[in-house]
Every structure is written in C-alpha cells, then in structure tokens.
A and B are shown apart, each in its own frame.
Chain A
Amino acid sequence: MDKIVASDVVWVLISTALVMMMTPMLAFFYGGLVRKKNVLSVLMQCMVILCLVSVQWILYGYSISFGPDKGGLIGGLDWLGLAGVGIEPHDTYFNTVPHQLFMAFQMMFAVITPALIIGAFVERIKFSGFLPFTLLWATLVYDPLAHWVWAKDGWLASMGALDFAGGTVIHINAGVAALVFILMLGKRQGGERHYAPHNLPFAVLGAGMLWFGWFGFNAGSAGAAGGLAVSAFINTNTAAAAAGLTWMLLDWAMNKVPTMLGVATGLVAGLVAVTPAAGYVTPLSALVIGALAGIVCFLFVTKVKAKFGYDDSLDVFGVHGIGGIVGALATGLFATKGINAAGNDGLFYGNANQLLVQFITTVVAIGYSAVMTAILFKIVDKLVGMRVEQRDENIGLDLTQHGETGYTLHE
C-alpha cells in the first residue's frame, strides 16, 4: 500500500480547486465576447455544466473513464457511485494522494471539456437541446477518450501516447466537436453584420484567470508537489507568454494595431498548446511551442475561418482544436526524458517513433470526436431540437431561454 504524502495532497487539492475555477472563468471569457442579450445564457451553460458533470462523474463518469479496464476501450462499472474509491491511494493514479482526490481532480477536467464547446454554439442554441447533448457527449465522447489516453491499460496509453494534461482528450476533442457542431447548427442570424464583443474587460478577466487556473491544470497534473510540477508550471507560463506576444506582433503587422482581444486569444492558444507537453519539455521548447501556437492559431482564426466562412463564434476550433493539434504534435518533437523519466524522447531527441504515436493519437481523437459529435447532434436535434426559432434568436437567449436579462438600462 502506498503512503499518503501530505505535501502532495495539499498541492493536488489546491490544483483541483484551481481547475474548478477555470469553468466559471471560461464563462466570463466567453460571456464577454457575445452580445449583451446572450451573456446570461453563456454563464448559465458553463455553470450548469459544472453542476451536471460533477454529478455524472460521481455516479458513473469516473467509473467508465478510469475504472478497471475492459479491453483498453472503456472502464468497468466497478466504481459506480465511487464504490471502492476511497481515501487509500490507488497504485497507479497519483499514488501518494487519496484515490478520491485523483477522482476529484479528474472531475474538473471532465467539467471544463464540454464547457469549452459552448463557444461554438453561443447565441443560437436551445437550452433544452444543450442539456441532453452535454450529458450524452460527456458520457460517450469524453469518458471513453479519457480512458484511452489516461487510464491504466487504455489502448492509446499502452501505445505510448504522451498527453501530460489533456491536449488530446480535452482540447483537440472539444475543438473538433465544436467544428462539427458549427457546421451542423449553421451560422448565427445576421452573420454578415459585425457584432462587437459586448464586454471585453470580462473576456480579459476570464483569460487572465484561465492562465492562473492553468497552473492547477498543468502543474497539478504532475500529481505531486515536486520538481515535475515546477517544470510544468514554468512551461505553462512560458508558452502562454510567448503565444500572447506572438499574436500581438502578428496582429500589429497584419491589422495595423495590437489588440487586447488578440493578446487574450493568443495567450489561451499558448496555454492550450503547452498542455500536452507541459511535463515533458524544457522551458525553451515551451517557448517555441507557445510561439508556434500563436502563429498557427492566428492564421486559422483570421485567415482560414474567413476563407471558409464557418461561424466559429468564439474560435473554439481555431484556438483549442488547432492549438491542441499543435501541442500534441510538438510533444512528439520536443519531449525529453531529461525532464521526465516517465515520459519519452521526441524526434529532436532521437526518437522519431514518438512523433508517429502522437500523430496516430491526434488522428484517433479527431476522428472519434467528429463522428460521435455528429451522431449525438443528429439524435438530440431529432428529439428536442438544437436551434432556437429565428425570433427567439433575435430577442436573445437570456430572455427567451431563461426569462432574465444581464443588464438594465437605467438604475
């Protein structure tokens, strides 16, 4: 039986709380970017996902994600309702902290992943369609993929895929789901008019606090209060900084002025890209990964989206999907055992095979997420409907879906 180490427990507890905070902060990041008639609907969707997935995870989500493996594909039902998940550490999952703490840490990741998709369908989704879709997606897309990549004996994990804190499971997965959703749901009404974000300070508050929360996300994924956590912490900060700067310079060069929204978007892209690599690379590699994410995501958000004309309202695919792919592949280039003996060397350290493994993992995540999201969308769309009536969209989701408004005009 492994022994509980108090310092590790403290760090993972704090990290869990930090990652929890990211979902409400994501709400502000997204909420600030929509029109004011829809701000509450976005906050509501984020907060309800926090409630919904927290319950799902305790009842069965954790069991099918991390429970005893069934053929590398899915966890068993042995841990339903946290049966057998106690205070004693698990021998594989963060083996110096209580098993329940590992469960809670993973819960916050399960929460934020479907919340990321919200940015794709803001301002036009029916709340009654959103809710069942989210539950189905968390159960049938997130949980299996988490099992494949992170669970003991998951098939992608067995193949040697490196995903330190969720580049594949979280960001590629959510980003691709967002793109599929956008294509199936269609553009917002009046998409030809430019809608300015209604509250950029909210968006910047959200982005700044996401950066803060990301220390729990990445450094917490070390699972212990040690050197690896410090390494992931520094890499996280470095990549975010590099990507924010890169985006600002590109913005300045291509659009004449450096924008606040550009820096906020850029730093998030850097955080996304460093997520799979955080515990496997050197700080200078993290710098390059951040800059790469800044460049590639900038091109996707400003050029590719405009060319194809899809309404990725808040750039979930452009930042999380593309940033996640950049990060997953970059991990195959820059990973080194010098940082993390439990990891592997990437192409630049003489192991080309790692890049291949990362590539396969990325393709699997894209394919699985795309196909399953499309199927679930079809089912829920048939049963309840996904999109609000045109009139309701014009009036705004706050009033038509929730009977409230975010702001008053006087007093």
Chain B
Amino acid sequence: MKYIIAIIKPHRLEEVLSELDREEIYLKTVSEVLGCGRQKGITEVYRGVKEVGNLLRKVKLEIAVNDEYAERTVAAIKRGAREGEIGDGKIFMLDLKDCIRIRTDERGKEAIG
C-alpha cells in the first residue's frame, strides 16, 4: 500500500480530478494549503496568490492506494497538473503500513478498496 501526497496549483484541481476519475481512482482527500518551493514563492503574474510572506496558495491531495494502483495514480496526477512551469508542484509517495476502515474494522488491502 502507498500513501500519495500531491501539491498542485489550485486551478489544475479540476483537471487532476478528471484524470483520477478516468483511472477509476475515486478515494481522495483534498485541502487548501499554503506553501512554497525552491523558488521561495517567486512567481509571475497569475501563477499564484501570495498570502503570508512568500507562501503561495496550493491544493494538497492525499490518496491511499494499493500497490498496483500507485503508478497509475502518479501518472494521472502528472497529466492533470503539469503545465511545464515553475510551481507545477510535487508528488510524494510513502509506504503505507496499515489502513483501518472504522465502520467494519477491515484492515489493509480490503480497507483501502
């Protein structure tokens, strides 16, 4: 199991969601966040909204998947989020130790699906 965290530009969210839908990856958590990368938030007009200091407005996606879905998820996020410009964002992939579905007490592979 993998835990995938992606930081993307807010206006690419629609595209990323469509790409994930196409890959039949429906489970995700989305939040609005502030952050900056190596460029310390240097940006051209329209690229982002600075809010606090150099922090730009971003969207964070968190998706837990079984191993066979991991690369497809990454590819879908890349397709949706990439503009080929500074600030397109990053994807982090972590090994996921366990997953528990609260309602049924299922664990692991079963619980993710």
Contact = CB atoms under 8 A, between A and B. Distances in A.
Interface of A: 189-190, 193, 391-392, 394-396, 399-400, 403, 405, 408-411
B45 interface: yes
Category for how many chain B residues contact A: 10 to 19
A391 B11 contact: yes
B1 interface: no
B77 to A, nearest CB: 16
A408 B12 CA distance: 19
A408 B51 contact: yes
B32 interface: yes
A410 B11 contact: no
A409 B34 CA distance: 8
Main secondary structure of the interface of A (DSSP, over half): loop
B57 A396 contact: no
Nearest to A405: B49
A347 B46 CA distance: 59
Contacts of A400: 46
Contacts of A409: 32-34, 51, 57
Given A190-B14, A391-B11, A394-B14, A410 B45 contact: no
6 contacts: A394-B11, A395-B46, A396-B11, A399-B49, A409-B32, A411-B52
Interface string B2-20: 0000000011101000000
B11 A403 contact: no
Given A400-B46, A411-B52, 5 more contacts: A394-B12, A396-B11, A399-B49, A409-B34, A410-B34
Contacts of A396: 11
B52 A410 contact: yes
A274 B11 CA distance: 42
Contacts of B45: 403
Interface string B57-84: 1000000000000000000000000000
Nearest to A193: B14
Contacts of A410: 34, 51-52
Contacts of A403: 45
Nearest to B14: A190
Contacts of B57: 409
Nearest to A396: B11
A4 B79 CA distance: 72
A405 B49 CA distance: 8
A164 B110 CA distance: 68
A399 B46 contact: yes
B61 to A, nearest CB: 16
B60 to A, nearest CB: 12
Q: Which 7 A-B pairs have the closest CB atoms?
A: A394-B11, A395-B11, A405-B49, A408-B51, A190-B14, A409-B32, A400-B46
Contacts of B11: 391, 394-396
Nearest to B45: A403
Nearest to B57: A409
Nearest to A398: B49
- The listed residue with most B CB atoms (<10 A of its CB), out of A189, A193, A395, A396, is A395
A80 B5 CA distance: 64
Nearest to B12: A394
Interface in B30-52: 32-34, 45-46, 49, 51-52
A400 to B, nearest CB: 6
A281 B11 CA distance: 52
B95 to A, nearest CB: 30
A382 B10 CA distance: 31
B91 to A, nearest CB: 20
Contacts of A405: 49
A409 B60 CA distance: 13
A190 B12 CA distance: 12
Contacts of B14: 189-190, 193, 394
B53 to A, nearest CB: 11
Contacts of A190: 14
A259 to B, nearest CB: 26
